Structure 1
Amino acid sequence: MEAAEFRPGDHLLISCQPHRAEVVDADRHYVYVRWPWHEPDPESAVRWDGTNAFARDPQDPDFDQLWRLDPPPAELQAGDFCKVFIPPTEVVVTWAAHFDPPKDAGRLPRPTGALNVVSAFGDSPRDGEASGKGLYLDDAEPVEIKRLGRLP
């Protein structure tokens, strides 16, 4: 899907089937998972080492509200394997962006668009445009997006 297809207020159902990933490092606050869908972009101005960090504490402001790990981050250590996924989640688009040329995000493939989303139910203390979650589009991540309608 292209970012141009979305507008603020779009009500979506997003999900991603579980994929196996390795925890390559861990500290007191985060686990670092080798992201299964990307590789570092050698021509990028942005340094990315191929991992994504996940806060261990669900109350941490950095705790990811979309992507989940199984087992949860609090239970993982370096060398463990886990599943990375997005459970079916209803969200509302707060903004959409199209990148032409594709955005230099440090990884390949370079995304051509992005959405910022928040929970459709306002059930997170961090809901709101400033605290929404960014989601790149036209990316290697096999995120499924289904349009449910529009919310006021």
Structure 2
Amino acid sequence: MIDAGEFRVGDVLSVACPFTISRVEREVTWDHVSVRWPWWEIDSDNEFAHWNGIVALGVDGGGSGTPETAAELFRTDPPPEQLKAGDVCRVGVPPTVVHVTAVDHHDPPLETPWLPHPTQTVTVLRRGLSYREFPDGSHLDGSGCTIHPGDGIPFTFELLIRPYASLQTGDEVADITGRAWRFDGPWDWTAFDGEPAGTGPAWPLVLLTRAGKPCSAGDAEAVAASTAGGSHQETVRDWMALTEASPTP
């Protein structure tokens, strides 16, 4: 399991939410089913926005819809095609493999018309969806693929893969060929020699600095041990096999 606040870009997760009793509040359309949300409360003190307690869930036709609608994590039981306004149903998230594309922290919390107010936004894409389906960056717009851990929805998260778990953003390393690199994420490497990144750093790696300072022996040992076998390319292949997606645009 993974706790809220521990997410990183590149993480591959299995996310789930127990199915909970709800009710269909409006006529079901070809692309949405509107349900009474069983978890949040209305923020009656919000002076700028009002929420009626209803959430419209995208319908993806069993996975055959467009990328925008297929991004929806929540499902209804029975499925939308068997529902009509006024029906009682259950809403939740079956175990679903996703990969994290952005993590944002909010201090103060986001001012939403529901409670509790989110302190974190984790943007994800479902298995089979990659950045290539969102060339304009719309995977970051919150349309059905954002999660607010700790906002009252009882999500559970299982971490399946964290590429370069031993590294931290901003770490500087040297690879076995002598090239120095800056790590800004598993798919975001900058070579200090100014040459193209190519196929990425050649393992094993030597940690040079952390947070702009010489690294500790323990941190250096952890990085060396985690990159003693395998390669950057193998890490990419393992990640793609699990996500069925491309890690970069």
Distance 2:59 2:99 in 1: 26
How many residues align structurally? 150
Distance 1:66 1:57 in 2: 10
**Structure 2 vs 1, CA of residues 48 and 20 (structure 1 numbering), >3 Å: closer, same or farther?**
same
TM-score, reference length from structure 2: 0.54
Distance 1:97 1:36 in 2: 25
What pairs with 1:73-152 in structure 2 (closer than 5 Å)?
73-122=80-129, 126=133, 130-131=138-139, 133-151=145-163, 152=236
8 Å contact kept, 2:24–2:83: yes
Tell me the residue number matched to 1:65.
72
8 Å contact kept, 2:20–2:92: yes
**Structure 2 vs 1, CA of residues 73 and 127 (structure 1 numbering), >3 Å: closer, same or farther?**
farther
Q: Deviations over 1:52-94 (max 9, x none)?
A: 1124452263455311111112221111011111111111100
Tell me the residue number matched to 2:198.
none
Distance 2:101 2:109 in 1: 21
Alpha-carbon shift at residue 50 of structure 1 (Å) = 0.5
Say whether residues 1:16 and 2:11 are aligned partners: no
Distance 1:86 1:75 in 2: 18
8 Å contact kept, 1:118–1:127: no
Distance 1:22 1:64 in 2: 22
Larger RCO (CA within 8 A; separation ≥ 6): 1
**Stretches of structure 1 lacking an aligned partner (at least 5 in a row):** none
**Stretches of structure 2 lacking an aligned partner (at least 5 in a row):** 164-235, 237-249
What amino acid sits opposite 1:31 in the alignment?
V
Say whether residues 1:42 and 2:44 are aligned partners: yes
Aligned-residue sequence identity (percent) comes to 34
Quick check: 131-140 or 24-33, which moved more?
24-33
Two-structure CA RMSD over aligned residues (Å): 2.3
Q: Runs of 4+ in structure 1 displaced over 4 angstroms? A: 125-129
Alpha-carbon shift at residue 40 of structure 1 (Å) = 1.1
Q: Considering fraction of residues, name the structure with more strand.
A: 1
What amino acid sits opposite 2:76 in the alignment?
L
Distance 1:86 1:27 in 2: 19
Q: Considering fraction of residues, name the structure with more helix.
A: 2
**Structure 2 vs 1, CA of residues 9 and 63 (structure 1 numbering), >3 Å: closer, same or farther?**
closer
**Structure 2 vs 1, CA of residues 126 and 33 (structure 1 numbering), >3 Å: closer, same or farther?**
farther
8 Å contact kept, 1:54–1:63: no
What amino acid sits opposite 1:16 in the alignment?
C
8 Å contact kept, 1:69–1:83: yes
8 Å contact kept, 2:71–2:125: no
**Structure 2 vs 1, CA of residues 64 and 108 (structure 1 numbering), >3 Å: closer, same or farther?**
same
Distance 1:14 1:56 in 2: 19
